[in-house]
Structure 1
Amino acid sequence: MSDVRTEHFASFDAADLAIHRMGEGRPVLLLHGLFSDANTNWIRFGHAQRLADAGFEAIMPDLRAHGASGKPHEAAAYPGDVLVRDAQALVAHLGLTDYDLVGFSLGARTAVRCVLAGLSPRRMVLGGMGLEGLAGWDRRASFFIDAIDRFDEVKHGDPAFFAVAFMRTQKIDRVAARLLLQSVDDTSAAELAGMTVPTLVVCGEKDRDNGSPQALADALPDARFQEVPGTHMSSVTEPELGKAIAGFLAG
């Protein structure tokens, strides 16, 4: 297994962000999902190693309020699209000019917003995402904010049970996470029409948590949809996810 190299850098507002890197070759920026981190989404189940074996360098930040990155408790640290601004700062910090961009769930939403904000990856992969999941974030955020607010009283059978259980496993800083949830901006279907980056939409066969992945692929000018095993939570544990990402980026 390739060694994971971890470093830190100061983002646009001096917030401390951790970056984990594996492999050598064409850079691939990988953005993890909500309440996750680089290790859980990309390293633990072998996806980063598969990319390294295919000749890529996996560059995996822990998003703000996650993992080993800073978790500020001030509302001012979470302006609109703050994760996009962090990604822009990381691309500038590393001097990336020819790279690919991958995101899962919240990371996929962020990847789309990054391209709309001016980042220009060669190829892009959107995992665990459907067309409907890019808009209407308020409803999705409200679900997670409610889970945070009722954290200690949520029991098995409650719709928020698995979200709370995952937050416990990940040792989420709930104050920081709650602020971050309010910073995510929506993307309309109309905005997707101008995104010409060749894109793979990849989603678990039992995952429609964020709407229709086929509809998302259809809404993008140059995209295709690939199904892999699993639900929204379990698809990241399946080797087929890494195979799909590496295969598309190497193609």
Structure 2
Amino acid sequence: MHRFNSGGVDIAYDMAGEGPPVLLIHGFASNGRVNWVDTGWVKTLVDAGHQVFTIDNRGHGESGKLYDPALYSATEMAEDARRLLDHLAITKADVMGYSMGARITAFLTIRHPDRVRRAVFAGLASRMITGVGGSMEIAEGLEARRSADVTDPGALAFRLFAEQTKSDLLALAACIRSSRVKITAEELAAIRVPVLVVAGEKDGIAGDVQTLVNVIPGAQGVVIPRRNHMNAVGDRVYKEAVVSFLRDDQGQVVGL
């Protein structure tokens, strides 16, 4: 992977294809490869004529590992994404984030609207406003000596996923312990770029798609049938909706 210095933090990224740029921002405990390459997303977007950039968020994948929760604010992680665009000399890009990555994408869109052409918020819908609970349980599960010691089901799911992705458990614990500044409905209502909101029908972590769509002017929403937070990522319906959204000059999903 390639690397650059983002405000003193070593950030890893990768690229593929040629065409209009798309930046992909992964979710908590994942990384660019697991979230976007292994699920077929990079190939899908390259085949659709895009140049695709994947970033490993701080504390994740091959990026620098930090152990102070104060260094993991979503706003600062959005600045990592903005600095990557600067590093690549990309004036404006389409940006898609999944789960935590959707939150980062939202902050990037709100704070740097001139850098985002279109935004896809996936795996996080109404909970972007209300917040997602269970952070402390997840942190404690990551800090446990063994996964067998984790009793909370939600925390155990993240612990096992983090082990599967060979993540630094203590860095992830610091990340999930960071102060979660909520995004207000007023901030989201100020977004003027085309937005697509996507989440699985059975995704209790993401919350309700239509609630978030109603807040953002002109936003569109797609609910992926029968999918939850973990298995929606590589879904065909999700991919087809995003490819259509990015293809259309007005940021519309054909047939929605």
TM-score scaled by length of structure 2? 0.88
* Counterpart Cα distance in 1 of 2:33 and 2:190: 33
* Counterpart Cα distance in 2 of 1:160 and 1:151: 14
Note the C-alpha offset of 1:183: 4.8
Q: Deviations over 1:49-82 (max 9, x none)?
A: 1111111111100111111111133556445622
**1:169 corresponds to 2:164:** yes
Deviates more, 1:201-210 or 1:179-188: 179-188
Aligned to 1:131: 126
Give the counterpart letter for 2:90 in structure 1. Answer: L
* Counterpart Cα distance in 1 of 2:78 and 2:222: 25
Aligned to 2:61: 67
Is the CA contact 1:18–1:61 (under 8 Å) kept in the aligned structure 2? yes
Aligned to 2:96: 102
**1:194 corresponds to 2:157:** no
- Among 217, 220, 225, the alignment partner of 1:221 is 217
Q: Deviations over 1:18-75 (max 9, x none)?
A: 1111110000011000001111111112111111111111110011111111113355
Q: Within 5 A, what are the aligned runs for 1:12-31?
A: 12-13=7-8, 15-31=9-25
* Counterpart Cα distance in 2 of 1:31 and 1:170: 16
Give the counterpart letter for 1:36 in structure 2. Answer: S
* Counterpart Cα distance in 2 of 1:209 and 1:80: 17
Q: How many residue pairs end up in the alignment?
A: 244
Deviates more, 1:156-165 or 1:222-231: 156-165
Q: Deviations over 1:155-178 (max 9, x none)?
A: 577342211111111122122112
Aligned to 2:85: 91
- Among 205, 213, 230, the alignment partner of 1:209 is 205
Is the CA contact 2:74–2:103 (under 8 Å) kept in the aligned structure 1? no
Q: Deviations over 1:193-239 (max 9, x none)?
A: 10111111111121131211111111101201112241100011323
Give the counterpart letter for 2:28 in structure 1. Answer: L
Aligned to 1:3: none
SS at match of 1:107: helix
Distance 1:170 1:101, change over 3 A: same
In structure 2, stretches of 5+ residues that fail to align are 249-256
Distance 1:250 1:140, change over 3 A: farther
Q: Deviations over 1:107-144 (max 9, x none)?
A: 0001111112224311111101112233435x342232
TM-score scaled by length of structure 1? 0.89
* Counterpart Cα distance in 1 of 2:78 and 2:154: 29
Deviates more, 1:112-121 or 1:56-65: 112-121
* Counterpart Cα distance in 1 of 2:90 and 2:119: 15
In structure 1, stretches of 5+ residues that fail to align are 1-5
What is the percent sequence identity of the aligned residues? 32
Aligned to 1:248: 245
- Among 25, 36, 40, the alignment partner of 1:42 is 36
* Counterpart Cα distance in 1 of 2:4 and 2:14: 11
* Counterpart Cα distance in 1 of 2:197 and 2:219: 7
